[in-house]
Chains A and B, each alone.
Chain A
Amino acid sequence: MSSADKTILSVKNVKKHFPIKEGVFQKVVGQVHAVDGVNFDIKEGETVGLVGESGCGKTTIGRCVAGLEALTEGNIYFDLPSDKIALLEDSEKQDDKKVSAEQIEEIGNSYDIGKIEGDLFNHYRRNCQMVFQDSFASLSPRQLVSDIVSRPLRVHNVCPENEVIPRTINLLEQVGLGAQHLYRFPHQFSGGQRQRISIARALALDPKLIVLDEPTSALDVSVQAQILNLLHDLQKKRGLAYLFITHNLSVIRHMADKIVVMYLGKVVEAGNTEDIFANPQHPYTKALLAASPDLQSEVTSGMAALDGAIPDPARPPQGCSFRTRCPVAQPECGWEVDDVVRRLEHKDSIFNFLKEVDQSDAFNAKFTFETEAAANQLMAAMKSDDIPDAMKKMVSKLNCDAEHVTVSFKPAKTVPLIACGNGSSARCVLVNK
C-alpha cells in the first residue's frame, strides 16, 4: 500500500483567468475566472473525480494539468518526492521561515510542469496524457488509426520502426480493437470505438496519469458502461492514475476514489467518494446529489434541486460564491451590492428608470434613478420578501434621498475550505456549526 500512497500530481492554488476582449482594438475589459485557486493531489493508481455543473472550470483544470494552458497563478508539480512535499507544506505556513525562496525555486525548476524544460518536460509529456470529450474532434479526420495511435511512439522514438506497427496493434488490442482496425479513418467508427482509439493513443507512452475529460458524456448509456469498464480494467492492469472529469454523479461514484466538487472555478468540497456520497457537507453538493434521481439518499431527499442561473464567472460573487443560489444562505456568506441587482433585475418598474450606479466597491453603491417613485420602489423592494432575511441582516446602510438610494453592506471575508473530519473539507460557513 505504501507505494500506492505516493503523490504523483500536486495542484497548488491554481488560477486560470481568460481575458475578455472587446471592440476593434481588442481591449481587455475583464477576466473570466475560469479556475480560481484550486488545490488537490493525485496519488499513484487512484482516480480523482472532478465534478460540477458545466462552465465551472473542470475542462480548464484538465487542460492546465495536461500542460496545455499557462497558469495565471499557482503551480502544478509532477512526481514530487515526499520530502519536497513536506518542504512546500512548511513554506505555506507563513510564520515558518525555515524554507528559503531558493529551495522553493529549485523545486519549481525540477518539478513544476510550467517551468521544467527539455528532458524533464519530455518525461512529464510521456507520463501525462489526456482523453477528450468529443471523440470526433480529438482524432484528425485525415489520419488512419495506424498513424494516430502510433504517433506518440514515433514522436518519442519509443521503439525501432519495425516494432511500431506490432506495438500499435497491441495497443489497439488492449482497448478491445484489433489489427483489422489499423487502416481505417476515424469517421468509419462508432463514437465508443473512437473513444477507444483515443484511449489507445493515450496509453501508447505508458503514462502514469491520464486526464479524462468527460470521456463518456457523448456516448449512449450502454456504450458508456463498456468504456467505463475498460478504463477500470486498464487502471487495475497498469496502475494508472486518472483525473476523471464529469458532471455525472453516478459515473463518478462508480469510478472515483476521491471527489473534488467545483463551483465557479473554486473547490467547494473535497473528500473520499463514500464520505461525500454518504454525508455531503456543502449545500451545493447536496443539491447536486438531489438533482441526480438515481442517487437520492436520506441526507438530500428533503433538499430542493438547484434553480437559478450560475453567476457570470467574469464577476464571481464575493464571500461564498454559491450564496446566490443557496437555499440555506446565512448572513455571513458575504452579501454585496451585486446581489441587489441579481435579486431585483426582473423588476422593470425599478430598473427601467435606473440612470446611474456609483459603486465604490463590492459592498457600497449609490443608485440614481430618473424618478423619485422608482427610488422609493427600490427602498420598498429591499424590505420585501424578494430579499432573503440573511441578506437584510447584512445591510448596514439603506438611505433614500430624493432619486438617490445609498446601499451599504457589512464587508465579509471569503470562505475558506474547512476540514470537517474524516479527511474531507468543504467551503461553507455552516461546516462544523
Chain B
Amino acid sequence: MTQDSRTNSIVINGLNDSAFKVRLNRNLEIIQSVLANPTTVIGLVIVILMLMMALLAPVITEPNMPDPYQMPRDWQAARSAPLTPGHVLGTTNRGGDVYYGVVWGARTSLKLSLIVVCLTVVLGVTIGSIAGIVGGKVDEVLMRIVDVFLSIPELIFALAIAAILGPSFTNIILALVVVFWVKYARIMRAQVIRIKQRDYVDAARIMGDSKIQIYLKDILPNSFSPVMVQATLDMGNIVLVGATLSFIGLSEAGIAEWGVLVSEGQAGISAGRWWASTFPGLMVFLWALAFNLVGDGLRDVLDPRTETKR
C-alpha cells in the first residue's frame, strides 16, 4: 500500500465523521426550530411525561399479577375518595384503583397507538405509493376506495366495524387500522406524484439507477414529512377514538384502559364520586391534546406550505 492511498483513507475517515456531524447538525436545526414554538414545547413536555408514565408503569405501581393490564380489585376499599391511603386517586365502585388505571392506561394507550400507527403507516404508504407510481387504472381504483373510506366519519366508521367484530381490545385495534390507513394512502399518493416529477428523480433515471433504488433513495425520503406529521397527530386521535369505543363497551371490561375506566366510574358521578371518571377522562384529553400540539408544531417546520387542518 502506498503512502498516498493511506493518506486517502485517513482523509476519508475524517470526512465521514463530518458527514455524520452535518446530518446531526441538520437534525438539531430542525429540532431547534420545532422547539422555538412554545405551544409545541408544552405539548412535547406532556408527551414526554405520558411516555415516561407508560414506560415506567411497572416501577411506579406494583404490577397486578398475572396480567398487569387488568385492573387490580380491592373490594374492601371500593368507592374511596382520592387521597385515601393506598389509593391516591381513589377507587371505582368496583374497587379498581384509579391511580393504577391512569398509569397502566397510559401504557395501554401507547401500545394501542403505536401498533395502530405502525400498521396504518405501512399499509397507507404502500398503497399510496403504488397508486402514485403505477398510476392509471390502478390509481383510480385505489383512490375510489380511499374516497369511500374518507367519506364516512372516523368515529362512526370505527364504531361500526368494532361492533361488527365484537367487543375485544384486538378488535378495537383492527377497527382503528381499517379506519386510519386511508389518510396515509392519500397523503403518500399526492407526495409521490409531486416528487416523482422532480428533476432529481429524472437525474437518477438518467444515471441509470433502478426503480426500486429511486423509490428508496429519492421518492420515499422526500415524501415522508407529511406522513410523519399525520402519524404524530394520529398518535393522539387513535387514543381518543379508541377510548370512545372502550367507553361504549366495545373493549374488554376490567382492563386498565382510560375509556373503560371512564365508563366504570360513570355510575358514581350522580352520587358525587367524580374522581373515577374525571382522572382517566383528563388523561385522554391531555394525551390527544399533547400529540396534536406536537403534530402541528412539526407540520409548521417540516411542511410549511400546507395550511393548518381545517
- Which A residues are within 8 Å of any B CB, using their own CB? 63, 66-68, 122, 125-126, 128-130, 132, 134, 137-144, 146, 151-152, 155-156, 162, 165-166, 179, 182-185, 198, 201, 204-205
Residues B8-40 near A (CB distance < 8 A): 8-9, 11-12, 15, 18-19, 21-23, 26
Query: Which of B52-60, B92-100, B201-209, B263-271 binds A?
Result: B201-209
Residues of A within 8 A of B202 (CB): 63, 66, 68, 130, 132, 138
Residues of A within 8 A of B221 (CB): 140, 142
Contact of B204 among A142, A151, A184 (CB under 8 A): A151
Contact of B206 among A67, A144, A146, A184 (CB under 8 A): A67
Residues of A within 8 A of B23 (CB): 144
Q: Is the CB of B9 within 8 A of A162?
A: yes
Can you give 20 contacting A-B residue pairs, CB < 8 Å? A66-B202, A68-B206, A125-B206, A130-B203, A137-B199, A137-B200, A140-B221, A141-B222, A143-B217, A151-B207, A151-B209, A155-B207, A156-B208, A165-B8, A166-B8, A166-B12, A183-B19, A183-B21, A185-B26, A201-B203
Q: Is B300 an interface residue (CB 8 A)?
A: no
Q: Is B111 an interface residue (CB 8 A)?
A: no
Q: 8 other contacts beyond A138-B200, A182-B15, with CB at 8 A cut-off?
A: A68-B206, A125-B206, A137-B200, A144-B19, A146-B19, A151-B207, A162-B8, A201-B207
Q: Is B198 an interface residue (CB 8 A)?
A: yes
Contact of A205 among B5, B9, B21, B207 (CB under 8 A): B207
Q: How far in angstroms is the closest Cβ of chain B from A413?
A: 38
Residues of A within 8 A of B11 (CB): 179
Complex CA gap A183/B9 in Å reads 16
Residues of A within 8 A of B206 (CB): 66-68, 125, 128-130
Residues B223-239 near A (CB distance < 8 A): none
Q: How far in angstroms is the closest Cβ of chain B from A125?
A: 4
Residues of A within 8 A of B154 (CB): none
Residues of A within 8 A of B205 (CB): 67-68
Q: Is the CB of A144 within 8 A of B22?
A: yes
Q: Is the CB of B207 within 8 A of A165?
A: no
Residues of B within 8 A of A185 (CB): 22, 26
Complex CA gap A142/B21 in Å reads 14
Given A134-B199, A141-B222, the answer on whether A183 and B207 have CB atoms closer than 8 Å is no
- Which B residues are within 8 Å of any A CB, using their own CB? 5, 8-9, 11-12, 15, 18-19, 21-23, 26, 198-200, 202-209, 213, 217-218, 221-222
Most A C-beta atoms less than 10 A away, residue of B12, B199, B213: B199
Q: Is the CB of B26 within 8 A of A125?
A: no
Closest residue to A136 on the B side, CB-wise?
B199
Q: Is the CB of B199 within 8 A of A138?
A: yes
Complex CA gap A212/B203 in Å reads 12
Q: Is the interface of A mostly helix, strand, loop or mixed?
A: loop
Q: How far in angstroms is the closest Cβ of chain B from A18?
A: 13
Complex CA gap A165/B18 in Å reads 14
Complex CA gap A276/B216 in Å reads 47
Q: Is the CB of A125 within 8 A of B199?
A: no
Residues of B within 8 A of A146 (CB): 15, 19
Given A68-B202, A126-B208, A166-B8, the answer on whether A179 and B222 have CB atoms closer than 8 Å is no
Residues of A within 8 A of B21 (CB): 183
Given A68-B202, A137-B199, A166-B8, the answer on whether A155 and B19 have CB atoms closer than 8 Å is no
In order of increasing CB-CB distance, the 3 nearest A-B pairs are A125-B208, A138-B199, A152-B207
Complex CA gap A182/B19 in Å reads 8
Q: Is the CB of B218 within 8 A of A140?
A: yes
Residues of B within 8 A of A162 (CB): 5, 8-9, 12
Closest residue to B210 on the A side, CB-wise?
A155
Complex CA gap A143/B23 in Å reads 9
Given A142-B221, A165-B12, A179-B11, the answer on whether A129 and B199 have CB atoms closer than 8 Å is no
Residues of A within 8 A of B8 (CB): 162, 165-166
Complex CA gap A144/B15 in Å reads 12
Complex CA gap A152/B23 in Å reads 22
Complex CA gap A166/B205 in Å reads 24
Q: Is the CB of B198 within 8 A of A155?
A: no
Residues of A within 8 A of B222 (CB): 140-142
Given A67-B206, A125-B207, A166-B8, the answer on whether A183 and B18 have CB atoms closer than 8 Å is yes
Q: Is the CB of A155 within 8 A of B209?
A: yes
Complex CA gap A198/B213 in Å reads 19
Closest residue to B18 on the A side, CB-wise?
A183
Complex CA gap A128/B203 in Å reads 11
Complex CA gap A162/B7 in Å reads 12
Given A140-B222, A144-B22, A179-B15, the answer on whether A132 and B208 have CB atoms closer than 8 Å is no
Q: Is the CB of A165 within 8 A of B204?
A: no
Complex CA gap A415/B22 in Å reads 59
Residues of B within 8 A of A152 (CB): 207-208
Q: Is the CB of B207 within 8 A of A129?
A: yes
Q: How far in angstroms is the closest Cβ of chain A from B7?
A: 10
Q: How far in angstroms is the closest Cβ of chain B from A310?
A: 24
Q: Is the CB of B22 within 8 A of A132?
A: no
Residues of A within 8 A of B203 (CB): 130, 132, 138, 198, 201
Complex CA gap A151/B214 in Å reads 11
Complex CA gap A205/B12 in Å reads 21
Q: Is the CB of A184 within 8 A of B22?
A: yes
Complex CA gap A143/B207 in Å reads 16
Complex CA gap A126/B206 in Å reads 9
Closest residue to A125 on the B side, CB-wise?
B208
Residues of B within 8 A of A126 (CB): 208
Closest residue to B198 on the A side, CB-wise?
A137
